[in-house]
Structure 1
């Protein structure tokens, strides 16, 4: 339950962030607007040619009575358009992320910078970033269809199809929508799409708390366009929790500017590091190690013993 409400809080924090930074909100609207125009144009063209497509797909009805033939083809055209609308809803986020990859990468990075620092992403040309984003989106869509197609047919069952199946459908859509949105920040960290899926599986409630409200909101026309910038911003904040970047107890390393690269130090370890002594192990039952063998130390060159020092520390 805690993870479920935490996911909702991340979504709310992302929306507050973009509305508090109007320039970045407008910047993040552009890809969603472009995707919306393309989808509306495609659905309009499909509606215009739906009758011709229905006639081409049902040649066996040419010899039927006019009423039955026209009824069949009208039903076919309506179902075809509704199916295209469903596919549009399922793929809108993925298409928007592919179209707006450079935009959302900058937006996500700016959000993380405002929270204390963003990891430096891999140095790749723009075409490579777009190709990776497209490939990952197709993988996510394929995995989502493995669930949504069976749920579509189960929806025809009495009682269950009108109660349990819709709830499962929203949960599946919310989970995979979260997977799509966190891809921007996780791709910057070099996390492959299969590893992203594994990470979200360990925090299902967090992913559902973030994604399911978005799925419900996206059912309202044009709301997806308005909420997309905040969704990307909230996903960047969520990734910082999933990858322990900037989480509780983490401190920024001034030398590298990265978060969460190593576990928090104990007071004894911090004191030992400040005085050049061997750091005690963080594990209570760990065997003592020679400083040259301890993690983080490089073996010193052999030197003559210095009677004034012990382990390299002044007496």
Structure 2
């Protein structure tokens, strides 16, 4: 067992599906003198040192499985903790931060691994950032133009899927072309948004195991100082305003989604929203997402 004094103390994990603002939020938070953001997702450490598969262009993993506390392997925590501390030391020296800074890691691949992550780091704190479904779908479509990904079929109702990276630009013959991007059916991008945000919601809201904060990406864009202040208050760190990074935020970031989707894609997305119906309302408490997204897509189709 790893010694208690060697554990990461109250690590911060930023969670949310791809293209939801996890990178932006982590950079803003990581600008704080007391927080050490060790770089983009740390998939190299999770995959290589920790043997936690995360399929992406930067790893050789061919899967991104849903994991829980039963999947922890002997020595896994020790290897991960050692690697994280080493990376923290490097970053703290480079950015002249306190050695006692708080570890922060963001990674969309956490969405289907939260019970596993919580079992490794039981005193972890979570910040969940979500972005409206249509914006995420359009942004992922654009992202996948340069990185081919496959959305696997569901074989177990109790697990949450994640994307499988494919180095090939075109789908192999044995793969459903509608599930392969670029040029796949956008309903599968929406399915990813729904399934992964639902997994986060089910774990954080229903388990009550860890302190967590929910952030809406659109609200972060509209009022970054207010939202960042809420985050620092939640994390119990001194007030701080990352002024330079706030100035770089693109205020128009969410205004282009409907121009990136064809009429056929908007119709496919609309059908997905109708099929899910009130299920969408259960993801974020007190938010009528079904009505909101139906209205957004209807307005886009009418233009």
TM over 0.5: no
Structure with the largest fraction of helix: 1
Q: TM-score range by the shorter chain?
A: under 0.3
Structure with the largest fraction of strand: 2
For normalisation by structure 2, the TM-score amounts to 0.25
Higher relative contact order (CA 8 A, sep 6+): 1
Higher radius of gyration, 1 or 2: 1
For normalisation by structure 1, the TM-score amounts to 0.24
